[in-house]
Amino acid sequence: MVAHEDFSKITDGTKENPIEGDMIEELDRYTNLPGWIALFPYYAKGMVGLAGGGTSEIDSPFYDLSAGDGKFSVEITALSGPGNNLIIGKACDLQPAAENSERKALTFTQETETFQTEFTHFNKNASGGIVLRITSETYNMFVDEIKITKELAAGDSLSYITEYEVNNTGNNSTLSQYVEVATKPGYTYSLAVMVMKTGQAGWPGNIGFYGFDVRMPLDLPLPLSITENKVADSAKSYIMNGNLHVVLEQPSAIDVYTISGVLIESIQGIEGENTISLTEKGIYIVKAGDFVTKIVR
């Protein structure tokens, strides 16, 4: 699983009376992974709304999904009027190595639809990866859930940009840039720098590309938090109706990994019962503080 966003952290607004967002909004406070943004969004409980006519959109982070044959799958559950098209596109327009764009229209036959489609990330040199863009063609639409999945062979990897900074150095030869990264267990982090140079005044559009560094691994410490609580003696977990239930006697972060060690869910658990949706059958590792267990869905 590359990404699984269900926007369950959106708790206000309804489909009939949504909350209007700003022109551009970062969705980090509503998503599991940072980097998602929306243009002119609306919010209803558990959903991000988009106005019809392409005036609103949801953009994914930059994902590098070029491993293997580059194929990956996108599944979207959304609500809209029958006959409306959910438009999903894939592209990377960052120079010098761009990815050819691809656009698909998925048609609603009923109010709630779950669409699944495939794309291919062809150009492994596309700067930073590719972006998925979701818009609505005619009627208003509410996006309820997004899943991006990809099969990886042994030794393959994928990545996404968690922070993207643009700075103009003027006439300076060097620039130091402070970037704050919210690290998470199960992830490794790296740094890459793209250098561009604009032409002289009066030469608009004269831009030269001067290099894109090979990614440099970073050894970033994991945050100290209540994830270190001693909960092993009191926590328990079980599966019911396809959902993972974790019962805690004190608050603690709950992390869920695949058997191969890929982090697929990370939530801040509360005292009492916590529920996490597991849509795919398999073996999972559940960690809450010192509590670690293997569970089968």
Q: Which helix (DSSP H) or strand (DSSP E) does residue 96 occupy?
A: none
Contact predicate 143/76, CB 8 Å: yes
Band of residue 204 on the pLDDT scale cut at 50, 70, 90:
very low
Q: What is the pLDDT of residues 132-155, one digit of tens each?
A: 999 999 999 999 999 999 988 887
Q: What is the pLDDT of residues 59-103, one digit of tens each?
A: 998 888 888 889 999 999 999 999 999 999 998 766 556 777 899
Does the pLDDT at position 165 exceed 60? yes
Selected from 1.20.990.10, 1.10.40.50, 2.60.120.260, 3.40.50.80, the CATH number assigned to the domain covering 3-153 reads 2.60.120.260
- In CATH, what number does 226-296 get? 2.60.40.3080
Residues of the chain with CATH 2.60.120.260: 3-153
Residues of the chain with CATH 2.60.40.3080: 226-296
Q: What is the pLDDT of residues 111-124, one digit of tens each?
A: 999 999 999 998 87
Q: What is the pLDDT of residues 227-277, one digit of tens each?
A: 333 444 557 888 888 889 999 888 888 888 886 677 888 888 888 899 998
Q: Kindly write down the DSSP assignment for every residue of 134-155, as one continuous string.
A: EEESSS-EEEEEEEEE----TT
- Is pTM, for the whole model, over 0.75? no
**No. of H helices and E strands in the chain?**
0, 26
Cβ burial 48-81 (10 Å sphere, 16+ → b, else e):
bbbbbeeebbbbbbbbbbbbeebebebebbbbbe
